[in-house]
Homo-oligomer: A and B are copies of this chain.
Amino acid sequence: MIRVQRSDFDPGAEISALTQGRHDVGALTVFVGLVRDMAGEQRISSMELEHYPGMTEKMLERIEAEARERWALNDTLIVHRYGPLAPGERIVLVACTSTHRAASFEACEFLIDWLKTKAPFWKKEHGPDGDAHWVEARGSDDAAAARWNRKPGDAAE
């Protein structure tokens, strides 16, 4: 499931919903991304997360479908916020359940790596002096996402 929302989410409740009453889940991996008050050497007093409604959901659904095709998963969940965010606030949650831990870890890392390079969100950081700038995409995120690219002729995993 995917959800794009302005409001905060409760990681405990999200985790519960994925495992409650189930006897076929052996492994749950969850990633939560949060706003820090520093970006490199720069102090951050708040952040604004813009997105492209419609395309965001479409991309997240596609990324989720790709994960479910590549790994044997019980369930996947992506929750991503938009709007104003303060340091310490949660931005995104990605969770995968599987019978075995390798699949849950790999799929969870895949989801956040692809999300970061494909889902249309843009971060604007505000400094303490009222200065603001759009965050630039990072080469390390492209590299992380590229790990999951399939070479032509790759067998289905």
Contact = CB atoms under 8 A, between A and B. Distances in A.
Contacts of A33: 26-28, 101
A32 B23 contact: no
The A interface is mostly helix, strand or loop, or mixed, namely mixed
Interface residues of A, number: 37
Given A11-B12, A102-B144, A105-B109, A25 B34 contact: yes
Copies in the complex: 2
A99 to B, nearest CB: 6
A90 B25 CA distance: 10
B37 A23 contact: yes
Contact of A27 (B11, B22, B34): B34
B34 A19 contact: yes
